[in-house]
Structure 1
Amino acid sequence: MRKGCLENGYSLTQGMEKIMDKVWDFILDKGPRLLLAIVILVVGLMLIKWVEKLVKKILLKSRIDETAHKLIVQIVSISLKVLVFLMTASQLGIDTASLVTLLGAVGLAVSLAVKDSLGNLAGGFLVLFSKPFVKGDFIETNAVSGTVHNITLFYTTLKTPDNKKIFIPNGEISTAKIINYSAEETRRLDLIYSIGYNDDILQAKQILREITEGTPLALKEPAPEFLVAEHGSSAVNLAVRIWVKTEDYWALNFYMNEQVKLAFDKAGITIPYNQLDVTVRRD
């Protein structure tokens, strides 16, 4: 029995020696490649962290909208990590060509499944980099209007004057007509006021001029214009064109409408309106 135990112990020792020999052979054969792969991975990840910080600093000094900063950093980071992963796999003897083909096939399948979302993503890139508007601008697009509240990769959020939020897919915005009312520092306010044919045109124009020149909201240059726009069917239409700072546009609009009505009433100038004569026939 003792002899059997000795034989078993000897066999176990031989087995351990064989395993250690194989491990040692693997280390001698694959060790340098494995060590180099680890170095590539560690150094690569460290360099990626450094590149991320560098890209952030460059973006802060650029004119690119802040909304796109995080996205750009993520794209750079993911691209570099994929590159480091492929370099590490290649060092370990993995066929990177097959790996790239597999990743491409998976990417194609995913892109076909989410093509609408990818369209919105592409639209988001166009909006962020072409910058037809920025956060805080008042815009009109796709028959809706509002102040730009937020711009993300897939949606742009507008806040309406009555405090509603509108979420518009960027894919639609990128192909639609966009009117940006906040793009310039000044705008022209166009107003039409109607007077009767029996009223004095020169007097009405003088009243309009005095009201305009009496408010600091109206810019002196370019000079305001007071024109006879049209001889209507029941009224003479006077056009007023006033240049105003963009942020004062609506304030001046409401001010002019109120003051003109009060001044015309005081001067006895009529403001015609459509009338319907009804004849009642009694049998």
Structure 2
Amino acid sequence: MLTSPDFLLQSPLRPDPIPWIQETYLSSLESQLLATGLLVVVALLATVGIRRSVPSVRRRYGPQIAEASAVAGLLVVVLGSIYAFSVIWHVTFVLRRTLAAMAFDRWIVTLNLVTITIAVVAYLCIRFVNRSIDKLAETRALTNHQSEVAYHVADVAIVGSAATLALTLWGIDLTNIFIGAGAITAIVALTARETLTSMLAGFILLFSRPFRVGDWIEVNDRSGIVKDVTIFNTKIQTFGDKHVLIPNDEITSSQLTNFSRNDQLRVEIEIGVDYETDLEYARDVIVDAVCDLESIKRTPNPQVVAKRFGDSAVLLELQLWIGDPTKRRTWDARTDAIEAVMAAFDREGISIPYPHRVHSPRDDDGYPIRGMERDEMGLTAPQD
């Protein structure tokens, strides 16, 4: 076994200039303390310089390069400070013994290098896939919800594949892991059926894309604007300013109406006219009244059809179209059309009849009431 002086002389961590510097300038306690103070100051200045250089590197090369450069710089400062401290205090043999204790055989080193390579490749794949998803989102090929789900699915798939490869490389048997994962999956499937159903429905909505955020939809008589779509729920804002969470499995199993899917929507308004009214003339008056409204589309043209016979009127149906349909535009078009039709009917003398009923007495005298007698005006008070 080598003694400490021999070990110091033969240490590869002490190249030729280092022993001369130690003997000439670092042989006394005072010089060592002074050198240690200078080392601390230099390390602090280097750390501050690295932190101040991060913003400029981020602007020029991006946040990832800036972060990696800062970490590498701090690592160099720490390792250099440790080595300089060992040189100042003549303890470089401690570093050599530490490195000797950490020595591995070639197989272990190769496995570590391959594992690190797999991790780096997985990280690069994640970045590439995420950037591709961002580009698709910029071209409107994917919605925000689809992008978010795609991020998670891609990241989990890449990390899972890399972890499986690394574990196999280290000789770890994955059979028991897969069996345990299958048992856990079966237990979760039995105890959380509704949650899994909603999650599956969320993926169905992801790929079928029956609506997007901002669309006006109606599900089970609940109508509103889609505000967010997650794996489990769809959030809509009703026109009464209420926020409603609808489970995705309810959406996939119910009738869904998307009013924003097309660029136009037909608005239907019932109008009653008297039985003595000329229907063809009334239809022309209605069309002329609404054809110039700004709240409706010119194409297709508004039209009026006879719908059915009512109790006291013939019911006509005014059909008109609005563009870029929203609930507000629907209300505006309906209000403008009703006001225009009423004004046109007043000018043309067309009446909208009120519902009324005709009551007529029976031919017989009905059932007599004991203690009372009838006169021409009706019932009279009982006689004494």
Q: Does 1:244 align with 2:322?
A: yes
Q: Which residue of 2 aligns with 1:140?
A: 218
1:27 to partner: Cα distance: 4.6
Match of 1:239, as an amino acid? E
Given the alignment of the two structures, is residue 271 of structure 1 paired with residue 352 of structure 2, yes or no?
Answer: yes
**Aligned length, in residue pairs:** 257
Q: Distance in 2 between matches of 1:254 and 1:36?
A: 77
Q: CA deviation at 1:137?
A: 0.7
Q: Residues of 2 paired with 1:88 and 1:42: CA distance? A: 9
Q: Does 1:126 align with 2:126?
A: no
Per-residue Cα deviation, 1:27-80 (whole angstroms, up to 9, x for no partner): 54xx61x33443343222222222222222322343122212122222222222
Aligned to 1:66: 144
> Any residues of structure 2 matched to 1:156-175 within 5 Å, and which?
156-175=234-253
Taking the TM superposition and a 5 Å limit, the aligned residue runs for 1:88-99 are: 88-99=166-177
Q: Secondary structure at the match of 2:145?
A: helix
**Any idea what SS the aligned residue of 1:272 has?**
coil
| Contact 2:296–2:321 under 8 Å retained in 1 | yes
What is the distance in 1 between the residues matched to 2:166 and 2:211? 43
Task: Tell me, in whole angstroms, the C-alpha distance in 1 between the residues paired with 2:112 and 2:187.
Answer: 32
Counterparts of 1:38 and 1:230 in 2: how far apart (Å)? 82
Cα distance in 2 for partners of 1:254, 1:41 equals: 69
Instruction: Report Cα offsets for 1:218-243 as digits up to 9, x if no partner.
Output: 32322222233333332112222222
Q: Distance in 2 between matches of 1:186 and 1:211?
A: 21
Superposed CA offset, 1:181-223 (max 9, x none): 1100012222221011133434422321221122133323222
Q: Distance in 1 between matches of 2:378 and 2:240?
A: 48
* Residues 72-81 or 144-153, more deviating: 72-81
1:82-129 CA distance string (max 9 Å, x none): 222222222322212222222222232223222211111111111122
Match of 1:257 in 2: 338
User: SS at the partner of 2:354?
Assistant: coil
CA 1:101–1:210: 2 relative to 1, 3 Å: same
Which amino acid letter does the alignment assign opposite residue 189 of structure 2?
S
Deviation at 1:174, TM superposition (A): 1.5
- Larger Cα-atom Rg: 2
| Residue 171 of structure 1, CA deviation | 1.2
**Closer, same or farther in 2 for the Cα pair 1:88/1:211, shift >3 Å?**
same
**Superposition map of 1:1-283 within 5 A:** 27-28=104-105, 32=107, 34-62=108-136, 63-247=141-325, 248-276=329-357, 282-283=379-380
| Deviation at residue 160 of structure 1 after TM alignment | 0.5
Gaps of 5+ in 2: 1-99, 361-376
Whole-Å separation in 2 of the counterparts to 1:60 and 1:115: 33
Equivalent residue, structure 1, for 2:56:
none
CA distance in 2, matches of 1:137, 1:219: 20
Aligned CA RMSD, in angstroms, stands at 2.5
TM-score normalised by the chain length of structure 2 = 0.61
Amino acid at match of 1:66: N
| Higher RCO, 1 vs 2 (CA within 8 Å, ≥6 residues apart) | 1
Q: Is 1:65–1:128's contact at 8 Å kept on the other side of the alignment? A: no
Closer, same or farther: CA 228–70 of 1 in aligned 2, 3 Å: closer
Q: Distance in 1 between matches of 2:338 and 2:173?
A: 76
Could you tell me how far 1:164 is from its partner in structure 2? 0.4
Q: Is the 8 A contact 1:191 1:239 kept in 2?
A: yes
Identity of aligned residues (%): 23
Kindly indicate whether the alpha-carbon contact (under 8 Å) linking 2:311 and 2:355 is maintained by their aligned counterparts in 1: no
The DSSP-based 3-state class of the residue aligned with 1:94 is coil
Give 3-state SS (helix, strand or coil) of 1:184's partner: coil
Partner Cα distance (2:292, 2:157) in 1: 61
CA-CA distance at 1:163 after TM superposition = 0.4
Structure 1 gaps of 5+ residues are 1-22
